Structure formats: structure tokens, C-alpha cells
């Protein structure tokens, strides 16, 4: 399964931009907010949550593989 599908299965919106990918959450208590951010140029992952589930971690790992960041 692709990372996009994994994040969407977890209820996140997956947005791909020119320089980054943002994973956005929307729940009944909050407006849209960025939870994960993959910045291509500097190869950095932003995590704006203090708790990450195993399923979220697996989706993050899959995204890193798809970006080719483990091949370096």
C-alpha cells in the first residue's frame, strides 16, 4: 500500500506541493491543521503531535521509502 493510501485510511488529508507533502487532520474539535510535513529540499519531517500511533509510524516509514530518503 502506498503512503498516501495509508494516511487517507487513517482519516488524514494528503496534500502534495512543489516542495513538500503535508498531512492534514480535521476533527470535530479543530479546524484543518497540519500534523505531518515532509520537506523535500532539506529532507526533514515535521511532526506536530506528541503522540504517534504505530499505524501513523508505518505510514511515515512508507513515505520515507517512497521519497528515496533511505537510499542515501
- pLDDT, tens only, 20-66: 999 998 766 666 687 899 999 999 999 987 788 899 999 999 999 99
Per-residue confidence band for 71, with pLDDT thresholds at 50, 70 and 90 = confident
pLDDT score for 33: 81
- The pLDDT of residue 52 is 87
The predicted model scores a pTM of 0.82
For position 28, what pLDDT does the model report? Answer: 64
Distance CA 24, CA 42 (A): 20
Q: Under DSSP, is residue 67 helix (H, G, I), strand (E, B) or coil?
A: helix
Distances (CA, A) of 46 to 1, 11, 20, 35, 67: 22, 18, 11, 8, 15
Residues 6 or more apart whose Cβ sits within 8 Å of residue 18: none
CB 69 within 8 A of CB 43: yes
Amino acid at each position: 500500500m502506498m503512503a498516501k493510501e495509508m494516511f487517507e485510511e487513517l482519516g488524514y488529508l494528503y496534500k502534495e506541493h512543489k516542495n513538500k507533502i503535508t498531512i492534514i487532520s480535521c476533527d470535530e474539535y479543530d479546524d484543518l491543521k497540519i500534523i505531518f510535513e515532509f520537506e523535500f529540499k532539506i529532507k526533514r519531517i515535521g511532526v506536530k503531535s506528541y503522540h504517534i500511533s504505530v499505524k501513523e509510524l508505518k505510514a511515515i516509514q512508507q513515505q520515507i521509502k517512497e521519497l528515496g530518503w533511505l537510499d542515501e
